[in-house]
Amino acid sequence: MPTRRLFCLAALLVSAASAVSAQSPNQAIRAFPLYDNSGFPDLVVDEGLLSKSLKIEKQTFPSTACEIQEGTIAVPGTRRLLRLTVAVMNRGNGDVVLGNPLDGPYSSWFYYDSCHQHNHLKNFTSYALFELDGVTLVARTTKPGFCMRDSVQYDGVTHTYDADGNVSSNGGYYTCNSQGISVGWSDRYRYTLSGQWIDITGVAAGTYILRVTVNRPDGPALAEGLNLYSNVTSVRVRLP
């Protein structure tokens, strides 16, 4: 690979940290406006944020690492990772309501992770790398959800805060103890978090399709009404 081409790609990936923090939600709002979905949510990934967040790094995992136990890393040792930020936006006109992981309406989809010592939501999100044919799978990570909550506001419901900095109820607010996503908000998982990656150790240089799937049909399959916005988001990525 020509030196200039490699340098430009490396610069793009290394600058991901500043790109993530600087990303404006305006592009996502224009691409996926809120709409009348008969009171249902509509979940979709912020594609612009996903594209700008990509970062390649190496990390070493001992055999006792939580990532080995959880399956986000299959083999201990030094692994090459494609890290990514995923913001699951709610662009319908109804909240996502999961409730309490212990006794809420979707409690059967949560399990307790003894390594990280908190609950995980299973079969909700997956990250996969495909050849350009979109069919041939190269690498895949099934990322367990941790806490579906209101992370970043795009538009919609505005939450207010009391004098102590606690969130005051204003049309619904979701936390780790009462999970969900309000209208116009997103549940964001930054690329710095554990499991926010695809293990690309041994994957050859080239251009691939990165595919992120949320609200998988083999998971809790949250009702999304008209579901105008796809639960599958794909972007091209070039690996050096």
Instruction: Pull the structure tokens for residue 98.
Output: 């999961």
> How many domains does the chain fold into?
1
pLDDT attached to residue 204:
97
Q: What is the pLDDT along the chain (240 residues), one digit of tens a residue?
A: 443 333 334 333 433 333 344 456 889 999 999 999 999 999 999 999 999 999 999 999 999 999 998 889 999 999 999 999 999 999 999 999 998 999 989 999 988 877 867 788 889 999 999 999 999 999 999 777 778 988 888 998 776 555 665 554 444 478 888 899 999 999 999 999 999 999 999 999 999 999 999 999 999 999 999 999 999 999 999 999
Q: In this structure, what are the phi and psi dihedrals at residue 66, rounded to the nearest 5 degrees?
A: -60, -35
39 backbone φψ class: left, alpha, beta (φ>0; ψ -120 to 50): left
Q: Note the Cα 82 to chain centre separation in Å.
A: 13
Q: Distance (Å, rounded) from C-alpha 16 to C-alpha 53?
A: 5
CB within 8 A of 130, min separation 6: which ones? 136, 137, 138, 208, 209, 211
Domain that holds residue 209: 3-239
